[in-house]
Structure 1
């Protein structure tokens, strides 16, 4: 897990506004290693989603660059948003194949890929169901399948469980981490939930307030197969990580001392 699949090199972002320039990201650098889940935590408004938009190419950074070690132009990054954004008039399988259709894949081939994902991740029998008939957790499973269907090199997870109840969110944290590992993907997770970051990530980047910089990079040394979301909370290592990150976020303005 030492080969960077993505590198953010001295990223800075400034927006122009009516009242003058706004510095959203000061200087952020990191590597995403192959097969790793990297979590970004930080105060609201510190530029995490802006950073995701830079990684996807939706925004050009004011400074620095994103380098992705992939030769599949246009298929490097999959983005799973806070809301599932499933199309209500399309069935589960037709929502899963949406990105493949946009990329021009033949419908029969796209549906075969979708059926494999649906069977592998617990929704067999719901292929023809409409999103309105699914639970919140099932809808998020469809969303992650749609993200994985076109086989991206990097998966971006932007608070994907924030709208779910505690029980569903807890179960999905473990499931999505497992799915990403099984598919041998590399992922970046944005979350405000410190416990979620510890449960899912191999490393955590703690960001300061705007303009954001990296306060700390923390390796989570609890093996993934020992990351049951409930029993983990009684692990002293979990508590130590939690307290350390919490204290970082309580620094004056969450700035580097």
Structure 2
């Protein structure tokens, strides 16, 4: 779906910002570790609009990935509420992980088609949709290849294609480019931006890279040391589509420094309290 034909967002319920897709209100998550209760997240409050690209940054172990798993339904919140406003007939969420998550015994086509097969989409339609996303992610010609024959960057593109093939209303991405080298990371950022510009679906993207967050996001949300709470929500002012030389501009450097000034305090607090985790 292109941006010209994208339907208007449905009216929001009373008290909800217009066009809201997700709202977390006081969301918390606690775990039991041995005999101790670990407060991993929250209370966290966050509203994301339909079509927004929101990047979460924060110290390791602050609960960013935990929050994605709560949104995806993999973990229930211990407290608080999470509201999603969804269009009928489409998958609610889909998730891309750092470690690719591709199935080694399946071909590229079968991997990308996997979610569609689980949803019992007819095989002809599933193959067509999977093939289209393979093409859009620059993998045409590799439909019959197995993951072991692909580079790390290609495997991650397979993972992204699989997540997008189910047409999720909210795409969740948990440090998806952390495992690739610096050059491939820039390439994958450009691929993701190109794909996102085509339909502007809602994205929540976790990263440790401020540069990546500022290149990709409409907003950068800084999360505190554990238990993670929103300490700053920064609107990224750069127009879209973003130019390839954006990283080298004084405006980019200044914003990067401003965000780092906020994040540095949280990283230091995490280290000082012994909460930093790998």
Q: TM-score range by the shorter chain?
A: over 0.9
- Please name the residue that 1:217 is paired with: 233
Between the aligned partners of 2:202 and 2:42, the Cα distance in structure 1 is: 25
Does the residue aligned with 1:239 lie in a helix, a strand or coil? helix
- Please name the residue that 1:14 is paired with: 30
Shift of 1:196: 0.4
- Please name the residue that 1:238 is paired with: 252
Between the aligned partners of 1:117 and 1:74, the Cα distance in structure 2 is: 17
1:56 aligns with 2:89: no
Shift of 1:165: 0.6
Query: Alignment RMSD, CA only?
Result: 1.7
Specify every segment of 5 or more residues in structure 1 that has no aligned partner in the other structure, as ranges. Answer: none
- TM-score, normalization: structure 2? 0.86
Within-5 A mapping of 1:15-94: 15-72=31-88, 75-94=91-110
- TM-score, normalization: structure 1? 0.93
1:104 aligns with 2:97: no
1:175 aligns with 2:191: yes
Q: Aligned match of 1:150 in 158, 166, 189?
A: 166
1:188 aligns with 2:204: yes
Between the aligned partners of 1:64 and 1:13, the Cα distance in structure 2 is: 9
Shift of 1:121: 2.7
Contact 1:199 1:227 in 2 (8 A): no
1:248 aligns with 2:262: yes
1:159 aligns with 2:175: yes
Between the aligned partners of 1:178 and 1:145, the Cα distance in structure 2 is: 13
Specify every segment of 5 or more residues in structure 2 that has no aligned partner in the other structure, as ranges. Answer: 1-8, 10-17, 271-278
Deviation track 1:80-115 (CA, whole Å, cap 9, x = no partner) reads: 000112112211111100011111112121001111
Contact 1:155 1:186 in 2 (8 A): yes
Contact 1:11 1:27 in 2 (8 A): yes
